[in-house]
Amino acid sequence: MVVARDIKNIDGMLLAPSGCELTERQINILQAWGVTEVEVEADDKLAQAHDPLAQLPPEVLGRMTADLRARFWKPDEFGPVPAEIFKLMLLRQARHSLRPLA
């Protein structure tokens, strides 16, 4: 994993700079410092393989987005929280549509 943003402790001391590759030892050290989350760079191919939205044809994704947007009140006025809820609902709908029928 490659660090996407500098990792600092609560006093602002740099623990790991952005761009460095994390080793198991470094992860253990970060955990000892109380770091619970780290932003890492994504591998585009790996991310697409696990992203249900990337697996949908564009026309299906567009239709799902429009249908879901119609359910929201004033969809053009999304703040960060409603936008995240919208994204999660869209992901859930995409996962459901990609699930094989048993």
- How do the domains of the chain map onto residue ranges? 1-41, 45-98
Tens-place pLDDT, residues 16-38: 999 998 889 988 988 998 888 88
Q: Is the pLDDT at 47 greater than 70, yes or no?
A: no
Tell me the pLDDT of the chain averaged across its residues: 83
Judge contact between 18 and 5, C-beta under 8 A: yes
Pairing of strands 14-16, 7-8: antiparallel
In the chain, the percentage of residues whose pLDDT exceeds 70 is 83
Q: Given CA atoms 55, 59, 71, 86 in this order, what sign does their dihedral have?
A: positive
Give how far Cα 40 sits from Cα of 43, 78, 91, Å: 10, 27, 21
Q: Which of 56, 59, 86, 60 is nearest to 71 (CA)?
A: 86
| Residue 71 confidence class, pLDDT cut points 50, 70, 90 | confident
Tens-place pLDDT, residues 54-65: 888 899 889 999
